[in-house]
Structure 1
Amino acid sequence: MWLPTAYAAAEPRPLEGHYYLRGAMEMGAELLLRKDGTFAGGVAYGSAGGIAKGTWHVEDDILTLETEADSQPAKKLAFNFSRERTLAELEEYSQYSNNDNVDLVRKNYVMEMRYARLHPKPPAIKPVYVSFEFSQGPSSQLLLNSNEQTDLWLPYDPQRTLKKIGFATSRSSSPSQWFDVSPASRSFSIGWKKPKNQPISFEKPEESGLAETQRFLAADAQDRISKNYMVTLFHYDPITPPAVNPVDVYWQFQDGSTQQQIWADSNQLKLTQPYSATQTLQKVGLRMKGSTKDIQWFDITPDTRWLGFEWEAYPDPANGDLSVLFQDLRLAIEPDCLAVDFGNGKACFRRN
């Protein structure tokens, strides 16, 4: 009679249930995992709080929460003026890379609006073996075992140029993906993604020659690339930006004139204002349409023709500011603990 009992004890306990946060100083939180794969969560820290709901799944002893997208357009946005470029800089860069901004910038000021949360947090990955085939001689293999952006360096030999890059899940197996590459290329940028409970996959490499690569590397890396190939691997799984309420955009020039536009589509990446040699852009202002708050102004360098802005949506006020803590949250499944770190050290969600 002891056999069934011993077998039952060895079975992992189902994760569904009601959990409470333990071990996080001055923070309280609850997490409800339902059998249908949905969750509800709440957190409080001082006078701030937040609630969230969505779906959950488990892979490789990691429980991941995916929060439900807000159904209403974002009522409040944060803007960051991240970079600016002159026409000369863009024209110089276009010599080495296809850049569709150049023709547009020759006739316009261009303002690019990019969602700050371009990608979710990269998921954990199992080791990937990166294979390299050459014009002659034996192949080579390097290991990718980090989900963070990684540079792999491979010795360069002009007598045997690189022909193909492939990816395999074990040292002995054949690559499941192969990409042909140009023999003149020396650096390769390759994005990867791994949907839940699916194999990792890789995007076609973006290739660059030696001169272009050296131009954008630090001095020590410039010397290194002269003797090596560089393969940069990074997580690439773009997030669809949330809808937004309209934003008034103000283009203010040095002569005191101002042109106004409305940005209302979060998928619209570019706003333009015709360029005139007799008018120099001085400032750009942003304000939610209908808001009584002051315009948020950003000073523009006189020669600038391309402006890069990043924007982020504040949480839905109904869900509370701390609802963002549940976004793409990953918890390590440990004995009697769903381990998490909210920025103040390891804590555990535990059943009562």
Structure 2
Amino acid sequence: MKKIITALLLTCLSTAAFAEVKNTKNLPGHYYLQGIREVGSELLLSKDGQFQWMTSYGGFDQFAQGSWHLEKDKVILVSSPQAENPAFRLFSDEEMRINKPAEAGTWVAITGVPGLGPIPGIEVRFESKSGKISDAITDKNGDAIIEMPESEEWARAALRKGKSAWQWFDIPAERRQERLAAFACLDRNQARPVPFEKLPLQIEEDGLRIVDDSVPARLIYVKQ
């Protein structure tokens, strides 16, 4: 939490007009942190009790999602931990911006969250049409790379985290030809450390204020 506040306090507060949060029935909605230059922070409170939160300062981005509930006059955000067995899907054609195929004799599987970043530590199993199997683990760039004879053709790939069940995917023809495939993780928390476990927000007339005694400034989210 202190790291979040430190990033937000790198700039000074300016005067802003605040929208009113009159009662708890009006709480769900889209909020923006106001009055801080060069820092963007958004909060989405859904009616089903879920939230999404993000903040960006320069090249430093953070994201959290989970559930929210009321405790007296506060909104409490509780982040979801990283899933032990996250689900994956193939990148769409629009997300697949890599045009250069993998070098001959190598197969490459990329894992990450589009728009957020790569995911290291994911085990990938490569299987050729002839049944040859080779395993690799994604590095800090989200890449799992194996060597495979040029005579072999990539048929399937499976992904898992830790000792969870394998999730198998047929490799599309274009991806087989380029020996390069990318897999998107459906758990956004896998791409970045969870920035906070719990974040209390005080309900005030002009918005939702971050509650932290160590912060000498009034940081508030305003509903749009």
Shorter chain as denominator, the TM-score bin is 0.3 to 0.5
**Which protein is bigger by CA-based radius of gyration?**
1
